Each structure stands twice: as structure tokens, then as C-alpha cells.
Amino acid sequence: MVELREHERQALLSLGKLCGKASVEQLVGESKLPDAAVMRAAMALQEKEIVKIQEEKQTVLKLNEEGRLHAKKGLPERRLVVALERLGGKTTRGRAFEEAGLEKQFISIALGWAQRKKWTTLDSGTDTLQMAKKPEEGSDEKLLKFLSKKEKVTVKELNQELEEAVQVLKGRKLLEVEEKTSRIIELTEKGHETLRKGVRAIAEVTQLTQELIISGKWRKVKLQKYNIEAPVAKIWPGKKHPYAKFLEEVREKLVTLGFKEMTGTAVETSFFNFDALYTPQGHPAREVSGIYFVKSPTEGSLDAHEGIVDNVRKTHENGWKTGSTGWNTISR
């Protein structure tokens, strides 16, 4: 008869009932022990070479609320081109949106992705939307359909085409992605032999109390050793700053709409920081109190951007060829 701690004995017996191999979740269900207790027991049994623990990193996917909506109704761009086909393949943008029955928050997304996928073209002069080619089902739509049939899926279950579409749906914030470590516990030869011999629990004290010390009983009881390598419950010591989270959400939305992310220098000229972004001369953001200036150099050079400077100047003054009336101010 082999002596083990109570939790180790329960975990081992439960593993035997599960044919010698099981996940932590399965062991928790069979033994009725908390998951932390199961893992501590498994670690202890592994040290005694009774079991072996295999770890595997998994990426678990599931559709969020918006993802489930699009799985049911179709992606916004698909709904748009289907409506456009019904209208003969060419109509005004507003008419196409109306026919598609798109919710307000999905209108710009539908147009952006329809053009990005080269399904449609937009004549901004006449505000006419036209079919460019027959829209075939993409890998993003196939993945959406696949995920709608299951509550959770690991990336490992996907073929190459669907796996490549994960980043697309993730970028569109239609997925909940969780990085998870899956642990499988399996009996070794020694473990099978231990079960055949039989196991019994050792009476151990897990906490040294005041009573045990005063009465002197601590000398007679067996104290359980503390395993500092045993896994502990997951904690969340901090979280992303609200403003950093906001900036990340804005960035994802703009990238989703087809904009490209670019990086610049740490110090930028007022021209590119304000004028090129069509910020009017009197805007509060241009006040000295809202800008950090460097002492040296006091001015930046725009010699290499003469053409851009001229176009920006004309846009500010009269709108140039943008269709705007401009700010009716002379750029400094």
C-alpha cells in the first residue's frame, strides 16, 4: 500500500477512472477538487514520477456579440453588394445603403471593406456606387460561418486558409481571443503500478495553529511540505490605461477602414503637425500653452516639401481642388 496526501490520492484515483489520461478540467470534474488543488496534487505526483504533465499553448477563439450578428446577417460589405446587385449593380450610395438596411454604425465599414476587397467603386463626383466584380466568398466569411457553428474553437483546429483569416476578424474586433495553456496529466508506468498496489491517505496538517504550538502537539503531527513551484490562481495586478485603450481602439477602427498606420519623428514641425492636417490658424490646440517647443533648432526646414506646402496653403486659403471653401485665411 502506497501512502499519499489526501488530494494526491483523490487525484490519482480519479485519473485511474479516466483511463490514466485526462485534462485538468476533466480531473476537476471527476475528483470534485478545486483546479488549484488538482494542479498542486499533479505537481507533487509528477515529482514522485507517478504522473507526467504535458503543456500545450492554445489560442481559443469565439465570436463576440458583433461577430455573431454578422454571422447571422452577413458582413456589412456583403450586405451592401447584395443590395447593389438587386439594384442593377449601379446606384447612388445612399440608395444602396437604404436597400441594404445597414445599421448606422456599419455604413462606413461596409463601404470601406467593399472598396478594399475591390467589389465596388465609388464615383465621388456623382456619389454613384457601382459593382466592380462578382464578390466571391472570402476566407473571413468562411471563418465567420465556421465559428458560428461552435461556441469555442482553437486555432489548431483551423486549416491554413481559415487560420490566415483570424487576424482579419481580430482586427475588425469580431473575435474574442484567449491565450490558454492546456495541461494533460497522464499516468506513468510507476503510476499504474502504484494504483495496482493501492493507495491510502497520510494524515497531514496543512496549517500550524496557535493551539498546536501551545499544546506541543506540533511535535507529534506530520506537517505538509509547502511546494513553492506549484501553480497559483491567476491574478490581475494592473490594466491598460483608459487613454491608451482609447487610442488603441481608434487605431484599430481606422486601420479597419483601410487607413495605413505611419510613424514619424519624435519632434515634428508645426506645418506637418497642424497645417497639413487642415488645422485652422486660430485653433486652440495651436496655442503656446498646448504645444511643447524645442529650444534648438527654433525652426524646421520645409525646402524638400515645396510642392506639398503650396498645396496645403491653397487648401487653407480657398479649398484648392478639394471641393472645400477652405478656412479663408492666409497660412503663415
pLDDT digit string (tens) for 11-59? 999 999 999 999 898 999 999 999 888 988 898 899 889 999 998 888 9
Burial label, 317 (beta-carbon count in 10 A; 0-12, 13-18, 19+): middle
Task: Using the structure block, give the residue that is written with the C-alpha cell 485534462.
Answer: 23
- Structural domain range at position 313: 270-318
Both 64 and 175 in a single domain? yes
- Asked if residue 61 and residue 46 are part of one domain, the reply reads no
**Is 302 within a domain?**
yes
Q: Is the pLDDT of residue 331 over 60?
A: no
Establish if 131 belongs to a structural domain.
yes
Relative to beta strand 21-23, strand 175-187 is antiparallel
**Does residue 256 sit within a domain?**
no
- Are 46 and 68 in the same domain? no
What band does 261 get if pLDDT is binned at 50, 70 and 90? confident
User: Are 45 and 138 in a shared domain?
Assistant: no
d(CA 124, CA 122): 6
* Joined grid coordinates for residue 6: 489526501
Task: Clarify whether residues 44 and 104 are in a common domain.
Answer: no
> Same domain for 142 and 171?
yes
pLDDT in tens, 71-87: 999 999 999 999 999 99
Three-class secondary structure of residue 21 per DSSP:
strand
Contacts 24+ apart (CB under 8 A), 82-85: 84/120, 84/129, 84/130, 84/131, 85/131
Instruction: Please report the pLDDT score of residue 208 as a whole number.
Output: 82
- Each residue of 202-229: pLDDT tens digit? 777 777 889 989 999 888 887 777 767 7
Task: Note whether 66 and 162 are same-domain residues.
Answer: yes
Q: Per the structure, how many domains does the chain have?
A: 3
Clarify whether residues 164 and 277 are in a common domain. Answer: no
Do residues 159 and 197 share a domain? Answer: no
Contact assessment for residue 196 and residue 187, using Cβ atoms and an 8 Å cutoff: no
Asked if residues 23 and 188 have their Cβ atoms less than 8 Å apart, the reply is: no
Do 70 and 101 share a structural domain? Answer: yes
Q: Is residue 149 part of a domain?
A: yes
Question: Which pLDDT score is estimated for 231?
Answer: 62
* Domain-embedded: residue 218: no
Number of C-beta neighbours around residue 181 at 10 A: 10
Same domain, 93 and 142: yes
Domain assignment present for 110: yes
Helix ranges, the chain (H) = 6-17, 24-31, 35-47, 65-73, 76-86, 93-100, 107-116, 139-148, 160-171, 189-197, 210-215, 242-256, 270-273, 306-318
What radius of gyration do the chain's Cα atoms show?
32
Shared-domain flag, residues 19 and 69: no
pTM of the model: 0.51
Mean pLDDT of all residues in 126-131 = 92
